[in-house]
Chain A
Amino acid sequence: MTASAPRAATDAVLSLRGICKQFGAVAALTDIDLDVAAGEVVAVVGDNGAGKSTLVKVLSGVYTPDAGTILFRGEEVRLDSPAAAHDMGIATVYQDLALCENLDVKANLFLGQELRPWMLDDVAMEKDSWRLLRELSAKIPTLDVPVAALSGGQRQTVAIARSLLGNPEVILLDEPTAALGVAQTAEVLDLIERLRENGLGVVMISHNMEDVRAVADRVAVLRLGRNNGVFDAADVSSEDVVAAITGAADNVVARRAARRAAPRTEKEVP
């Protein structure tokens, strides 16, 4: 464990201290610290392979960390199975969505938490499904088709809707808007803001700087499986975040931006 936590958030619902996860020779996560407070949106950003999804899976009980502690509401907890994390009130939208393609939309939404276990209440579940999907302005024509019949964005909407069932306290979203259209993306960003207002802790992973700056309160940067700075979303520039992600001020994004800016200034001069 690290000697001193970077920011001892007393109101944190979820805190990670010194989390390590090794896959064979690859150290996917090394000494990760992260705090999520109730009513706070924390964006986790980083390059491909930086360890973001691994971090989410540690938090959702899919992977058990090799070292480090997880505190939920200030108490140390063991998240050794997805069921344990779920019972604790941690809901997750995975990058690979984790849906059962052979089951229809409503069966997927209620998977593992069906109403009336010994005499499934299909009508109530279908009603709830429609309510949830409406909330997200989902464009899904019918709930009777297997998920295999849905488009990528529709599936993502189903995965997001599923995480909202059962009143979670913390929601982990691994690239929730990657496959979504403009309207649905705006809808999901609205949803994230609503979740924050309702006092939930939200961890959002995204590669889209605009989305991150639109809804996040804090931005945590991962680089090569290590913490590389936590910024206040309100007063950090995109350039600074990109520099932290890539590890240098002189990076490919900055160079490209400079190149594109150059011709325009030339045109303006004469």
Chain B
Amino acid sequence: MTSLDTPVAPATDPQDERLAAPQGIGGNIRAAARRVRDGDLGMLPVVAGIVVIWTIFQALNQTFLSSTNLVNLSFDMVPLGVIALGIVCVLLAGQIDLSVGSVSGVSAATTAVVMVRYEQPMVLAILVAVASGCLIGWIYGQAFNRFGVPSFVVTLGGLLAFLGAQLWLLRGQNAINIPYDSALVKFAQVWFVPGWLSYLLAVAAAGGFLAVGWARSLRRRRAGLFSSSVQWLLAQSLLLLAVLLFAVYYLNRTRGVSWMFVLFVALVLGVHYTLGHTRFGRSIYAVGGNAEAARRAGIDVPRVYTSAFVMCSGLAALGGILFASRLAAANQSTGTADVNLNAIAAAVIGGTSLFGGRGSAFAALLGVLVIQSISSGLTLLNLDSSYRFMITGAVLLVAVALDSAARRSRRAHGRG
């Protein structure tokens, strides 16, 4: 601890006297507040949105924030969240995929057909479905790169084509039921992390956050670079630990933390690492920001586009499988209706820019929490889908307006 606290002789970067380096916890909070005012909103609007939405629904219906309902929420948000995670990837590359709903539907149908109609092992069914999803993304990439068809047109075509494929696979059957005793259904209904392990995971997550931050801080100090204060890091880790422990405790009052939710968080962390800490991820941001500059920097831009489409369709396929497992069936309406727009809305509400090059994997997690909370709250109030569509549409509009306004403000305050 002392090794981090003692200031090392001149840190390399804050040499320019115009630069105000944040000091202590108060300084860090003030710096964060200034960033928000300048339009560098980050996660703030979505977190504020969640607080507002939860307060309203709790006031309208006392069961909304009950442990039982939140456990259900933690299940229901996963399929859509996985799809939104893929949307984040294409949006970052400056493209769009309007067909994720159909792709998830066709993937759900594929899984059910392979598993039930052809009686093949579950793992094979999942592999076939996800591989088909990736293939679809690859085809989108080729159409975009080779023929220059704008991505919204290619994927709009895909929307219709794969809806057709889904209906063809089901061949007039309304639904194919997946047996209740299969691991696929149990995973989405009854498999929970044991209580002790869920607390352990929470502590491990906060500890991991602290350890990574600490190691980074040490390395930066050794290299003579500026690093933010230890108190700030400790405060963040403790806050994270408190939030996680409370969440785990609260969920464990009834059924607990589902493995399906753990899978989602693991996927988010994996995508976060890929986007933020690999050359490949950097190239996605670069292409979304300025494709020509990326090309001149030697980046294989077409390959980046193809990878983004493949990631998106692959994750959409996985989301479809999770839809099927949650429902214990694949039917004609899996992935239809509002799935497409909800997934895109979740990514944008979470803070991913529609203009490319800006956003993060956590956008999918927080955004889908907003969308699913609205849906769950309205269901509890016995309001049908007509209200859900209208309210989700309005929230999406607000999020996009906020994105555009923040973009203008960033321009004015020089934050890109």
Give the interface of A toward B (CB within 8 A): 60, 62, 81-83, 86-87, 92, 94, 98-103, 107, 111-114, 117-120, 122-124, 126-127, 130, 139-143, 145-150
Contact = CB atoms under 8 A, between A and B. Distances in A.
B307 to A, nearest CB: 14
A128 B169 CA distance: 56
B282 interface: yes
Given A98-B292, A101-B416, A148-B410, A123 B219 contact: yes
B416 A123 contact: no
B384 interface: no
16 contacts: A62-B296, A111-B293, A112-B286, A117-B279, A119-B278, A120-B277, A120-B282, A126-B220, A130-B13, A141-B16, A142-B13, A147-B416, A148-B411, A148-B416, A149-B414, A149-B415
Interface residues of B, number: 41
Q: Looking at B279, B286, B296, which has the most chain A CB atoms within 10 Å of its CB?
A: B296
Interface in B251-286: 277-280, 282-283, 285-286
A150 B14 CA distance: 16
Contacts of A143: 13
A102 B357 contact: yes
Contacts of A113: 298
A100 B291 CA distance: 8
Contacts of B290: 98-102
A112 to B, nearest CB: 4
Interface string B379-416: 00000000000000000000000000000001100111
Interface of B: 12-16, 18-19, 216, 219-220, 223-225, 277-280, 282-283, 285-286, 288-290, 292-300, 356-358, 410-411, 414-416
A139 B16 contact: yes
A82 B296 contact: yes
Given A102-B285, A112-B294, A142-B14, 19 more contacts: A62-B296, A83-B300, A98-B292, A98-B296, A99-B293, A101-B416, A107-B285, A107-B286, A111-B282, A111-B299, A112-B286, A117-B279, A120-B278, A120-B279, A120-B282, A123-B223, A130-B12, A141-B13, A145-B414
A150 B416 CA distance: 9
